Amino acid sequence: MNIYLIGFMGVGKSTVAKELSKKLDYKLIDTDDEIVAREGRSISDIFRKKGEEYFRSLERELIEKLSADDNLIVSCGGGIIKSDDNIDNMRASGHVILLDASPEVIYTRVKDNNTRPLLRKNPGINGIKKLLEERRPMYDRAFTHKVDANRSVKQVADDIIGILNV
Ligand code: S3P
């Protein structure tokens, strides 16, 4: 079984995934990092030069490959749930944990970071609220477990370990 961490940008998927991989004997994969390494350019550059659709096709290819593997902790890009194939592949191969945080908490965590093209397009707390609203049904369809991510990394990681009993 794999453990997939999903949720909006800035909810803490990458840091919680690192903490979990330290505590459990699972290999850590970050989908954004994999894509950046494969393409040899940043996420912003991929969006700018090749477009969002191309980026989403790389995500789909990657999730299909990872879902054939075992004992991975996968920190997923926030838009991974925009593909039903990704939702199906993740649910068929592991636990899908939604990290859920309020728009206010997300905003304080992302406001000084300029690396996310979709937040540049949807700026400020209103942009976050709008995207969150659009995505809420997709996140809800995707998760097998949901955790409150308005708390510290350690609390969230401990919560997940408790829920999964691993
Ligand atoms: C995206 C989230 C980003 C990255 C890309 C698109 C999204 O990952 O994959 O900028 O559509 O929500 P993080 O959730 O790790 O910021």
Ligand 1 nearest atom to the CA of residue 117, by list position: 10
Copy the structure tokens of residue 23. 């505590």
What confidence score (pLDDT) does residue 163 get? 93
- CA–centroid distance, 158 to ligand 1, in Å, is 24
Calculate mean pLDDT across residues 14-43: 96
b/e map of 15-45 (b: 16 or more CB within 10 Å)?
A: bbbbbbbeebebebbbbbebbbeebeeebee
**Rounded-to-integer distance, Cα 153 and Cα 23, Å:** 13
- CA–centroid distance, 7 to ligand 1, in Å, is 9
Q: Please, what is the average pLDDT of the chain? A: 96
pLDDT confidence bin for 165, thresholds 50/70/90: confident
- CA–centroid distance, 116 to ligand 1, in Å, is 7
- On the 0-12 / 13-18 / 19+ scale of CB atoms within 10 A, 105 is middle
pLDDT confidence bin for 162, thresholds 50/70/90: very high
What confidence score (pLDDT) does residue 51 get? 97
- CA–centroid distance, 77 to ligand 1, in Å, is 4
Q: Does the pLDDT of residue 78 top 90, yes or no?
A: yes
β strands within 57-111, DSSP E: 72-75, 94-100
pLDDT confidence bin for 16, thresholds 50/70/90: very high
pLDDT confidence bin for 53, thresholds 50/70/90: very high
What confidence score (pLDDT) does residue 26 get? 95
Q: Does the pLDDT of residue 114 top 90, yes or no?
A: no
What confidence score (pLDDT) does residue 166 get? 83
Q: Does the pLDDT of residue 151 top 90, yes or no?
A: yes
> Taking CB atoms and a 6 Å cutoff, what residues make up the pocket around ligand 1?
9, 13, 32, 43, 77-79, 116-118
Q: Do 106 and 12 form a contact (C-beta atoms < 8 A)?
A: no
Best probe residue, ligand 1, of 5, 16, 32 (max atoms within 8 Å of C-beta): 32
